[in-house]
Amino acid sequence: MATFGVRLRDAMREHGPLCVGIDPHPPLLRAWGLTEDVAGLKAFTDACVEAFAGRVALVKPQVAFFETYGSGGILVLEEAIGELREAGTLVLADAKRGDIGSTMDAYAHAWLAGGPLASDAVTVSPYLGFGSLAPALDLAKANDRGVFVLAATSNPEAAELQTITGPDGRTIAQRMVDDAAAANAGAEFGSVGVVVGATLTEAPDLGSLNGPILMPGVGAQGGGADSIRKLVPDSDLGAVVPNVSREVLKVGPSVSALQAKVAELTGEFAFLQR
């Protein structure tokens, strides 16, 4: 099997660069006329799987909204991951895991090995030190899967940590990007991506990453094609994966409406395809 980075690059060329989220938070369930329970969660998720499978490069279920419902919610997530992957659609589990030692190893096995939650990639937090991610990085490499490292997130609280400058003049966010780049060294297209908010006013230097750049904040949060162009040099635009969730999901529950919105946004971001 090809590496995750290569499979993602190929999927972006075939379907466009979008990553579409499955975020079944309570206001959306209500807006879709669904109950706030496992039955409503399943109906929401099933519609998303039907709408997105085989049509986008990457689908990103937000794990927290499934965990809310306990074992029933996790079962819905397991089924969705399996159905998407069976359809040939790459799945990024947005779990934002980060810990040390055996605990991080357990998280890595949950999402990147062969279990029921196994996805093509998972989001991870490096803020216990980039080295703490080693179990996930190693397992992803062994299984041709990927990780997306939180680097420069767009939430206001992030700046107080991520923009701190170290003795070498690099911000913490830049160090995370550089460490991810080192993990991708020698790859055709790396499987270690970074998360950089599309609503930021300034981004780290991404030129050496040689891997995917997941950019959340597109659509309802105010990010878009113009903000991406301002943050990412032309030479790196081909690695950008715009993440849209609410902007698509707000048009549901109609599957055809969801698909039409995806098609519209795919056209909007066609300039990223290289």
Which are the catalytic amino acids? 96
- Distance from C-alpha of 24 to C-alpha of 80, rounded to nearest angstrom: 13
How far apart are the C-alpha atoms of 27 and 274, rounded to whole Å?
37
**Token output for 131:** 């080295």
Q: Count CB neighbours of 143 within 10 A.
A: 18
> At 73, is the secondary structure helix, strand, or coil?
helix
Query: With contact defined as beta carbons under 8 Å apart, do 247 and 220 qualify?
Result: yes
Q: How many residues does the chain have?
A: 274
Backbone angles phi, psi at 124, to 5 degrees: -135, 150
Q: How far apart are CA 131 and CA 204, in angstroms?
A: 20
Amino acid at 34: L
For residue 169, the one-letter residue type is G
Asked if residue 44 lies in contact with residue 80, where contact means CB atoms within 8 angstroms, the answer is no
Strand partners for 121: 92, 146
